[in-house]
């Protein structure tokens, strides 16, 4: 992703280029070695897989059979004993039809080497249709089953928090494509993930190439914030659909930030977007990330025909948003008026 360049040195982030002429200074070994490396903000640790195929749920699949659903756990090596760690719950893509918990290994490596615990899950997938060369629309049942499985995975994380030294207040739901849709469902459906009268069991959701297929209900003040990444050239989940999702979230009173990626398609991110995620999470109260630089997305004011930019970041700059009254959410690189929010989804 050449349009998004970050240089993390001692928890600081160099200026970024988001669809503008700005350029960032390159990260060099000399600048890195001259600065202290911060846990979570950078990558101070080796990492290892500590659980492989642990069953977290048994459920009836689309064929009517009982299916054991498994997860893998990745942890840093050498982080301080006794310290609590944030956890990234990762859900793979695959159109709710294929894929498994071993996909997207660079995500596991990036976050575990920072000091996160990463939990990657299998979930129930629907049967593939005959090979006609046309990708079908995922059934509502498949979408809901995946959300139910994700809820069970969050409950497993909370039940095993002490063993894994996980901070129960720092559970981040994330995923790619179908997995991103599920992460958004965890944030947007508080009744699915929240005990009656209690706070949400996740702290935030980070979506890579996702959109809302669950419907955003009226929000509550303590609903978790959402960060969305979407390629401007994505033909599977068009940028307009992502903007519509963010707008719907904002209109219910919750927080949603959208970072559009110029020139990118249907992407599950790269080290630069993962760094931005960490800095965004630091700005949204994840305790373990308090030493990291914060990064807030410029705010788009939809009540007028122009946009206003605000940010609490102390060392990260971004270009002001442009006039775009029809787009959704808070968007760091607004583009054209969005298309309908019901695209032909295939990821």
- Burial, 101: exposed, middle or buried (Cβ in 10 Å; 0-12, 13-18, 19+)? buried
Token pair, residue 239, equals 């940028």
- What ranges in the chain are assigned the alpha helix state H? 29-33, 105-114, 140-159, 161-164, 178-188, 190-193, 239-251, 271-283
The pLDDT assigned to 335 comes to 33
- Count of Cβ atoms closer than 10 Å to residue 337 Cβ: 11
- Burial, 30: exposed, middle or buried (Cβ in 10 Å; 0-12, 13-18, 19+)? exposed
Q: Report, at the CATH architecture level, how domain 38-331 is classified.
A: 3-Layer(aba) Sandwich (3.40)
The pLDDT assigned to 214 comes to 78
Domain residue spans of the chain: 38-331
Cβ proximity of 137 and 97 under 8 Å: no
| Residues 126, 34: Cα–Cα separation, whole Å | 51
pTM of the model: 0.77
pLDDT tens per residue, range 214-242 = 776 665 556 789 999 999 999 999 999 99
Residue whose structure tokens are 């090596």 = 77
The pLDDT assigned to 313 comes to 33
The pLDDT assigned to 38 comes to 84
pLDDT < 50: residue spans in the chain: 1-35, 134, 302-346
3-state secondary structure of 272: helix
The pLDDT assigned to 220 comes to 58
């Amino acid at each position: 992703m050449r349009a998004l360049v970050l240089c993390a040195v001692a928890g600081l982030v160099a200026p970024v280029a988001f669809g503008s002429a700005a350029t960032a200074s390159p990260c060099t070994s000399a600048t890195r070695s001259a600065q202290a490396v911060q846990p979570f903000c950078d990558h101070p640790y080796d990492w290892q897989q500590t659980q492989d195929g642990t069953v977290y749920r048994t459920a009836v699949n689309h064929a009517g059979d009982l299916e054991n659903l498994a997860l893998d756990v990745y942890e840093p090596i050498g982080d301080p004993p006794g310290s609590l760690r944030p956890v990234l719950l990762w859900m793979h893509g695959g159109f709710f039809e294929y894929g498994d918990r071993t996909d997207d290994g660079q995500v596991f490596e990036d976050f575990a080497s920072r000091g996160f615990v990463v939990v990657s899950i299998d979930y129930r997938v629907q049967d593939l249709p005959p090979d006609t060369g046309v990708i079908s629309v995922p059934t509502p049942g498949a979408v809901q089953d995946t959300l139910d499985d994700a809820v069970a995975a969050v409950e497993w994380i909370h039940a095993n928090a002490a063993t894994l030294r996980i901070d129960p207040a720092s559970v981040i739901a994330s995923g790619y494509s179908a997995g991103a849709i599920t992460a958004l469902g965890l944030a947007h459906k508080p009744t699915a993930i929240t005990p009656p009268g209690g706070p949400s069991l996740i702290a935030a959701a980070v979506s890579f190439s996702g959109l809302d297929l669950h419907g955003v209900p009226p929000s509550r003040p303590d609903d978790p914030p959402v960060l969305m990444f979407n390629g401007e050239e994505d033909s599977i989940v068009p940028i307009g659909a992502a903007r519509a999702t963010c707008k719907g979230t904002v209109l219910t009173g919750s927080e949603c930030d959208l970072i559009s990626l110029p020139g990118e398609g249907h992407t599950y991110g790269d080290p630069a977007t993962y760094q931005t995620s960490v800095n965004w999470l630091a700005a949204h109260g994840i305790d373990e990330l308090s030493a990291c630089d914060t990064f807030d997305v410029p705010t788009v004011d939809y009540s007028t025909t122009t946009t206003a930019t605000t940010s609490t970041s102390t060392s990260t700059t971004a270009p002001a948003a442009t006039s775009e009254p029809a787009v959704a959410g808070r968007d760091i690189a607004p583009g054209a008026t969005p298309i309908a929010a019901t695209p032909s989804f295939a990821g």
